[in-house]
Amino acid sequence: MTGSVGDALKLIKDSNAVAVDFKFVDLPGLWHHFSIPAERLSEDEFDNGLGFDGSSIRGFQRIEESDMLLIPDPSTAVIDPIPEAPTVSFICNVADPITQAPYSRDPRYVAQKAEAYLQSSGMGQTSYFGPEAECFIFDSVRFDYGPNFGFHEIDSEEGIWNSGQEGPNLGYRPRFKGGYFPVPPMDRLQDLRTEIMRKMIATGIDVELQHHEAGTAGQAEFDLRFDSLTTIADKVLWYKYIAKNVAVAHGKTVTFMPKPVFGDNGSGMHTHVSIWEGDRNLFYDPSGAYAGLSQQALWFIGGILKHAAAVLAFAAPTTNSYKRLVPGYEAPNRIAYSQRNRSACIRIPLYSSSERAKRIEFRSPDPSANPYLAFSAILMAGLDGIQTRTDPGEPVDKDIYDLPPEEEAKVPFLPGSLEEVLMALEEDHDFLLRGDVFTPDLIDMWIRWKRANECDAIHIRPHPYEFYLYFDI
């Protein structure tokens, strides 16, 4: 990635690019783009932007006020590893065409405001996020819905359900919950994941590792090395884009749906967080009362636990998210924190005692989230905890899934549905409004859009399993 406009234009020239691509994110979190001939790009586009129809983008403008601008961020210029034609891509911010002011519903702008708020608050200089974004790599997917039918079908050469198929069958398939770190030939996707990893590195993403995850049917994990909030959110979208396109090039398909396979682990996006002041980790205190954490870090945890339900409206933002957050599949569904313990929704990793490694891990988010909004909400909840000195309570250093009833009753559940977290967001969002990071308009649009297009849409349709339960009632 480059820095100035001059650097970006030089990259286009030196790479012999024939096209320049402009990417931006909608409110739910999907990239959109368009391209222009490389010779048409000048410094003017960085100052005055490029026009597009905001009414055609989810969560943006109404048709009577649809004209919007994209302002390319020159620091994001990178050679796009996917198109055959040499292409340089930019990530863009969204702006109003009349005032050229940043657009309040632009998720990337929210992330930038969250970073600015941290700096102005006196609570730190830089927030670092390190996501572990899981996915499934399938060989095929079929789904459709109509007034008189509804179905989905997925398949994978790795799926344990193919162990009994007739014809040539070599076995070597991960069992349910049995796919963590197997070597080939059990792991059939090593080369594909490596290709994804190499293309990620080519775009400037520092990949810590990739591996097969616990699920059968091609579950994978890519861990992105920590970076500042907006930058790491940019990298998450690059990762999704690259993974999907590399898979398709090999006749496969990638989904970041949290729970596509019944009876097996879902895909999470465990999110590691720390706050720094220059080269000093403010979460680190080797003499701290718990797990080498500073008091500031404990208050930060308290804020996330206090606002967990509202935060999940952005960090676990689909109806499918709550099919993952159930007992039995290594997905935390209780509001608690602990060192080392993966059954708590916040874990303090203890792989290293060094200052650089000290952080917290919020385990409830999943990769269906818009990373700009999810990471911003996590940061704002944690900062509220610091400001109000929120006590996180006692840690739970036991397996929460196996507590005796009297102890289990003391550990509250996370909400169990998208509707519940949207209701929580309605009631608890003042912490998000500080510094104008989130706006009432964005929160209102998010709630209305999610209810109308996801919650209500699911509620009013018969589910295929309801026929199994009720057809002969």
Q: Which of 108, 270, 272, 324 is catalytic?
A: 270
Respond yes or no: is residue 394 known to be catalytic: no
Q: Which of 213, 223, 227, 419 is catalytic?
A: 213
Respond yes or no: is residue 448 known to be catalytic: no
Closest CA to 237 of 15, 82, 54: 82
Strands 346-348 and 337-339: parallel
- Map tokens 């080269």 to a residue: 279
Read off the tokens for 212. Answer: 């097969």
Respond yes or no: is residue 84 known to be catalytic: no
Question: Which pairs with CB-CB distance under 8 Å and at least 24 residues apart come from 237-241?
Answer: 237/23, 237/25, 237/29, 237/31, 237/91, 237/371, 238/200, 238/203, 238/205, 239/133, 239/200, 239/205, 240/31, 240/133, 240/367, 241/31, 241/82
Respond yes or no: is residue 134 known to be catalytic: yes
Q: Which of 39, 53, 65, 208 is catalytic?
A: 53
Judged by phi (left if over 0) then psi (alpha if -120 to 50, else beta), residue 158 lies in: alpha
Closest CA to 381 of 271, 461, 293, 292: 271
Respond yes or no: is residue 213 known to be catalytic: yes
Which regions of 332-399 does DSSP assign to beta strands (E)?
Answer: 337-339, 346-348, 360-362
Read off the tokens for 6. Answer: 């001059």
Judged by phi (left if over 0) then psi (alpha if -120 to 50, else beta), residue 209 lies in: beta
How far apart are alpha carbons 161 and 173 in whole angstroms? 9
Read off the tokens for 263. Answer: 């009876």
Respond yes or no: is residue 221 known to be catalytic: yes
Respond yes or no: is residue 73 known to be catalytic: no
Q: Which of 221, 234, 384, 454 is catalytic?
A: 221
Q: Which of 132, 264, 384, 419 is catalytic?
A: 132
Read off the tokens for 186. Answer: 């059990």
- How many Å is the maximal CA-CA distance in the chain? 70
Query: What letter would DSSP give residue 170?
Result: -
For helices 371-387 and 295-306, give the axis angle rounded to 10 degrees: 120
Respond yes or no: is residue 356 known to be catalytic: no
Q: Which of 361, 384, 419, 454 is catalytic?
A: 361
Respond yes or no: is residue 193 known to be catalytic: no
Question: Which pairs with CB-CB distance under 8 Å and at least 24 residues apart come from 407-414?
Answer: 411/334, 411/335, 411/336, 412/334, 412/335, 413/333, 413/334, 413/335, 414/308, 414/309, 414/312, 414/325, 414/332, 414/333, 414/334, 414/335, 414/345, 414/364
How far apart are alpha carbons 374 and 25 in whole angstroms? 14
Q: Which of 32, 211, 225, 342 is catalytic?
A: 342
Radius of gyration of the chain (CA): 23
Which residues are catalytic, by number? 53, 132, 134, 213, 221, 270, 342, 361, 363
